[in-house]
Each structure stands twice: as structure tokens, then as C-alpha cells.
Amino acid sequence: MDRYEFLKILSDGLISFPEKERKEILYDYEEHFRVGTSRGKSDSEIIMELGDPYMIVAQYKYNYSNNYTESKNTDSFNNSYYNSNSNYSPDNNYYNDRKSPLPQPLKIVILVAIIITCLPVIGSIVSFIIGMYGASIGLVIGGIGMMLGGITGSIASSFIYIPASIPLSALILVGIGTICLGVLLFIASLWVTRFIYNLILKLIKWLKTDILI
């Protein structure tokens, strides 16, 4: 079950509720999924924390029929449900203060330390990736030069030295192999770039959710 199935069961089960309160309840659970996802939790983990959606619906209906008055709002239903759900703990309650307990000066110190530590590492990684792209392009160009040299019967490339004793057919094959190697290296460079990009995004998200907030 994913979040959409979970929310649909809630929506269908609470169809008899006043529209405003029903929307507020659904919004609360959507917000819980959003917060859980930002902390790296899967839909399954969040649903395990919340409990069976059918039981949630039954609990809301029970509370609604026994405790609802004109002055009560959806918060009273949420609180009574969370208090009765043994699978739900205060650590999982997104109504708790989610802000970092660290004082502001310490946050700044940690942030500066992380930046100072990460900048040289990121610079080295970027240089390495640029080198990979440069090497892949060089291999492709060199392979093309060797192929041209083999096809025309002369070594045409001024930046590659190939002994004249090498057979022209071998030169063509070596050129093809070099081009393939360059293409593979370029693909690997793209993969590394995407991996580093996602890693940096996760680092930024972690800083925002656990340090800065």
C-alpha cells in the first residue's frame, strides 16, 4: 500500500463527515507523509507508524459519534486517535516541535565547519569529473584520428604517434577500440556526475531539515 491508497481509504471512509473537517483530517495525514518523506522514510514505514487506515477511520467515527459537538474541531479527533494508537509514539508525531534543538550560534558553527570541510572535497571531485570528460573526448578524437590514418594509409593525427610499422588494418581496429573506450568513459562520467549531484542534494536537504531548521 502506498500513500495514495492510504489517503483514498481515509477519504472514502470519512465521506459522511462534514466536508471541512474531512479535508482537514486528510490534510493532516498528507502533511505527515510529506514530513516523513523529507526525513527519508518510505510510504510503507510511514503507514506502519500511522496504523491500519481502516482502524483509523473506525476510530474517527467512534470519536465523532461520541465526542463531537459544535465547539470541537478536527484536532480533538486527531489527538484522541493518536493517544489510542499503540503504534504511534511521540517521536513520530509531526505535531511535536520538529525544529532542531541546537542553539543558533552552534548551528552557524556546524554549518561553517561543514562548508570548510566539503568545499575542498567537492572541488577535487569536480576536477576529477572534468578530467574524466576530457579523457573520454580525447580518446574519441584519438580513435577517430587512428581510423583516418588507417583508412587513408597515413597517420594523419598530429597529436598521436603511431609507428609506421603497424599494419593499417590493425590501426583501424585500434581506433575503433579507442573510440568505444572513450564512449564508455563518457557514460561513466555522466553516471558519476549524477551520483555526485544527488549526493549534494541529499546533503543540502539534511542541512535544511536537521541543522538549519
In this structure, is residue 97 part of a structural domain?
no
What cell does 28 get?
493532516
In this structure, is residue 35 part of a structural domain?
yes
For residue 91, the model assigns a pLDDT of 44
Contacts of 92 (CB under 8 A, 6+ apart): 49
Domain boundary among 71, 92, 113: 92
| Number of domains composing the chain | 2
In this structure, is residue 205 part of a structural domain?
yes
Q: Are residues 168 and 121 both part of a single domain? A: yes
The residue among 176 and 75 whose pLDDT is bigger is 176
Helices marked H in the chain: 3-13, 19-38, 43-50, 53-67, 74-84, 104-152, 168-206
The average confidence (pLDDT) of the chain is 76
On whether the pTM is more than 0.85, the answer is no
Q: Are residues 83 and 110 both part of a single domain? A: no
For residue 153, the model assigns a pLDDT of 57
Q: Are residues 194 and 137 both part of a single domain? A: yes
In this structure, is residue 123 part of a structural domain?
yes
Q: Residue 125: which domain range?
A: 104-212
pLDDT at 201 over 50: yes
Q: Are residues 179 and 118 both part of a single domain? A: yes
Q: Given pLDDT bands bounded at 50, 70 and 90, which one contains residue 89?
A: very low
Q: Given pLDDT bands bounded at 50, 70 and 90, which one contains residue 209?
A: low
Q: Are residues 108 and 88 both part of a single domain? A: no
In this structure, is residue 156 part of a structural domain?
yes
- Residues 20-71 have pLDDT tens digits of 888 888 888 888 888 888 888 888 888 888 888 888 888 888 887 776 554 4
Instruction: Quote the CA–CA distance of 98 and 210 in Å, as a whole number.
Output: 9
In one letter, which amino acid is 26?
Answer: L
Q: Are residues 81 and 21 both part of a single domain? A: yes
Q: Are residues 53 and 112 both part of a single domain? A: no
Q: Are residues 131 and 197 both part of a single domain? A: yes
Q: Are residues 151 and 190 both part of a single domain? A: yes
- Residues 176-200 have pLDDT tens digits of 899 999 999 999 999 999 998 888 8
Q: What dihedral do alpha carbons 18, 19, 20, 25 form, nearest 10°?
A: 90
Q: Are residues 42 and 87 both part of a single domain? A: yes
